[in-house]
Chains A and B, each alone.
Chain A
Amino acid sequence: MSNSADHPTLPDNYGGVLRFTLVSMTFAFVMFVVMGIFGLSMRIEQSGLLDLLAPEHFYQVMTLHGLSMVSLALLGSLGGFAAVIGRRVTLDLRWLWTTFFFFFTGMMFVLFSTLGGGFAAAWTALYPLPFHGGYAFWGVVGVTIGIGFVLIGLLIYCVLLIRSVSRAHGGIRNALGWPLIFRRTAHQENLTILDVLAMAVAIPGVVCVVAGYIWLIPLWLQASGVVQSIDVLFMKNFDYLFGHLLVNLTIYFAAGLMYFLLPAYTGRPWKLGLAYVLALNSITFIVPIIYLHHLYQDFAQPLGLQVVGQFGTYASVIPVILITLFGGLSQYYHSGIRWDVTTILLAIGLWGWMFGGMAAALDATIAVNQVMHNTLWIPGHFHTYFLLGAVIFLWGFFFFITRTLSGTRDGPRTRYAAVAYGVGGAGFTLVFLASGAFSIPRRYAVHLPEWQAFAMTAVPFILLLGSGIIWIGYTMLSRLTRAWERTKGPVDILLPGGAAHGPE
């Protein structure tokens, strides 16, 4: 039976797309919990409460934690976004599963190469550290192949999106909403904010992959003895270009889940107007240059690029505030919305994204970065807008679809789990930011005695955060079997009549 029988607007293969979503998000969530436990172990080590990790193990865990978190969050957001955009355009299932294969394999390479091969050059693997860290040769090769696999997975997904969405709208320019800009038409038939977002993010996604390989190939050439050394500044630029893009893409795809969910709850359309098209298109052009703020302390970098980095970062904040935050808050404002786990998580996401974004914008100011760079302020701001921004959107969406597809009810106290996530997460990240304000460096396996109180303070917040995550996770995963069965027949993630929240 095809989906189109009951849901005439949905592609026939939508159930298959949802199975990709369920598998990707489940894998991402399980890895998230494991990597979170590793994160907790690092903070405990820094607090001096317990001696869990010798420095060499601390740095292996730190590298694995970083690489896995960025990969799983990206995979989760790609999986979630497929369920959203896959309602509007037909996504080839073979491409989707190939994406998953490359992500899964790449992440396994990283897992074994860090814990087994001893690779511990941090997730950024700043050249030439991979060749000077005393790591096993196969560990270096394994991690870089793993990153290469993740990038291929991303490339396949982005090309699929560009191909599918542009075909559905008669070309790339139409899919980017350019007629609204250049012909000043008031309306473009059947084009939504999600379509333009898909294009605006998938295009820099391809740039990210190209930049990643421009960084990876010289590493492989040196590993194989073809070249002896490479320019450090060149490598740093491409390392951060691909790394920053990778994280930014995750956030934008995750925001797309909110663009879908909130109107489903409130009945308020997230209309695509000229301002939104301009803002979304600006993502395509601005996002690839803002990585430059990672190199402010490399004084050898040309001065013009430093200034462009600050300008570009400031410019990137404007569409985020005007679209995601203003649009998201407008959805809640006097909406009569029903508070459940998903709407609580999304609301926390609107707080975390902005709060973390403010910390990021401050640090993207060169004069501030001079005294904040590579202190714990940095993990402070990115954990705020990642853990409490992008990733919380993922789990809000995952919770939503597992409940809707399984047709189960929430327990009366499940909402407390979402609150625990928010309170624990906010405390945990604020301690990071305060640590940065007190000049505590990041990536220190051992903390001076006067710094340990900060890490000690963070631990109870992490435990509270963890309890919320485990509670939410248990609820979601226990619904998976029923949700999976539902995808085998005609299915949608929105209930008939537009009701988003499912059974009480």
Chain B
Amino acid sequence: MILISPRYVFVLLLVMGGVYTLLWAWVMHSSRERVEYGEITGGLDVLRRRLFSVIALAALVVFLGTQTILPYQPVRDITVGEPVTVINVTTSQFVFALSNTTIPANVPVEFAVTSVDVNHGLGIYDPDGQIIAQTQSMPGYTNRLIFNFTKTGQHRIHCLEYCGVDHWGMEAFFNVE
């Protein structure tokens, strides 16, 4: 199971955004000197067409590539495997009720998540305080999240869907052993 690290995503943004920022600054700097538009429109048209091809191709490749790491059950059944245990999670304002607070490490487990009142979000944080998985908790539906914990220790759950005045304090803990 491939896990995306939020911090690497931020680094990726800084790299992509940094490159764009340099390009942007170069364009703005170039504005000090005027060149007639007719002299550059041909080159710009060519560049635009090439840019379209590059962006469209890159978007398609990333789109197809990331379909293999979707967090949904049909994909996780293949990439993680059939769950060996199910943890039922029932949410209500402002409580997570877990059927089991000790979860085995290095095997596929399933969280079956539902709510009795409003929407909540089951946000699972590893012992280092980083989100590793989440799913919404909705009244009338059961969302199934399959996950394989590779890190042992106390994990924390924070609510990740605004659910009312004590949303900020809605949390729970479980141990991975």
Contacts and interface: CB of A to CB of B under 8 A. Distances in A.
Partners in one complex: yes
Interface stretch (A11-19, A441-449, A467-475): A441-449
A120 interface: yes
Given A299-B143, A434-B10, A439-B131, A366 B70 contact: yes
A365 to B, nearest CB: 5
Interface string B147-172: 00000000000111111111111000
Contacts of A55: 165-166, 168
A332 B31 contact: yes
Contacts of B166: 55
A133 B166 CA distance: 10
Interface stretch (B15-23, B82-90, B96-104): B15-23
A253 B107 CA distance: 51
Contacts, number: 224
A332 B131 contact: no
Interface in A300-316: 300, 303, 306-307, 310-311, 314-315
A377 B131 CA distance: 12
Scoring B62, B125, B136 by chain A CB atoms within 10 A of each residue's CB, the highest score goes to B136
A319 B169 CA distance: 42
A129 interface: yes
A128 B118 contact: yes
Chain B at the A interface: mostly helix, strand, loop or mixed?
mixed
Given A368-B9, A371-B131, A446-B169, A334 B30 contact: yes
Given A129-B118, A307-B67, A365-B66, A334 B6 contact: no
Given A232-B138, A232-B141, A437 B93 contact: no
Contact of A354 (B24, B66, B138, B159): B24
A69 to B, nearest CB: 16
Interface string B97-140: 00000000000000000000111010101000111111110111
Interface in A326-355: 326, 329-330, 332-337, 347, 350-351, 354-355
A441 B123 contact: yes
A374 B17 contact: no
A64 B39 CA distance: 51
Given A128-B117, A367-B4, A374-B134, 20 more contacts: A132-B164, A232-B140, A275-B52, A300-B138, A306-B70, A311-B63, A322-B48, A333-B44, A335-B31, A336-B31, A350-B24, A354-B20, A365-B66, A371-B3, A437-B9, A438-B130, A439-B125, A443-B167, A443-B168, A446-B169
A269 to B, nearest CB: 8
A358 B141 contact: no
A395 B7 CA distance: 34
B31 A337 contact: yes
A351 B63 CA distance: 25
Given A126-B161, A367-B71, A439-B130, A314 B63 contact: yes
Given A297-B136, A299-B73, A318-B56, A132 B24 contact: no
Contacts of A56: 165
B138 to A, nearest CB: 5
Contacts of B34: 334-336
Contacts of A264: none
B138 A59 contact: no
- Top 10 nearest A-B pairs (CB, nearest first) are A336-B34, A437-B10, A334-B35, A299-B143, A444-B168, A300-B141, A374-B160, A439-B131, A314-B59, A443-B162
A367 B13 contact: no
Interface size, B (range): 35 or more
A362 B9 contact: yes
A132 B117 contact: yes
Contacts of B162: 59, 121-122, 126, 129, 442-443
22 contacts: A134-B164, A232-B140, A232-B141, A233-B140, A297-B160, A299-B135, A314-B59, A322-B51, A332-B30, A333-B44, A334-B40, A351-B20, A355-B21, A366-B70, A367-B69, A371-B9, A371-B133, A374-B121, A374-B161, A438-B6, A439-B129, A447-B168
Nearest to B34: A336
A314 B149 CA distance: 31
Contacts of B141: 232-233, 298, 300
Contacts of A311: 63
Interface string A227-246: 00001110010000000000
B13 A358 contact: yes
Contacts of B139: 128, 232
Nearest to B59: A314
Given A300-B141, A318-B55, A375 B131 contact: yes
B144 to A, nearest CB: 6
A9 interface: no
A93 interface: no
Interface in A266-309: 266-269, 275, 297-300, 303, 306-307
Interface in B37-83: 37, 40, 44, 47-48, 51-52, 55-56, 59, 62-63, 66-67, 69-74
B44 A330 contact: yes
Contacts of A128: 117-118, 139
B165 A59 contact: yes
B30 A366 contact: no
A199 B130 CA distance: 45
B113 to A, nearest CB: 8
Nearest to A326: B48
A438 B165 CA distance: 24
B142 A300 contact: yes
Nearest to B26: A333
Contacts of B52: 275, 318, 322
Nearest to A300: B141
A358 B19 CA distance: 12
A359 interface: yes
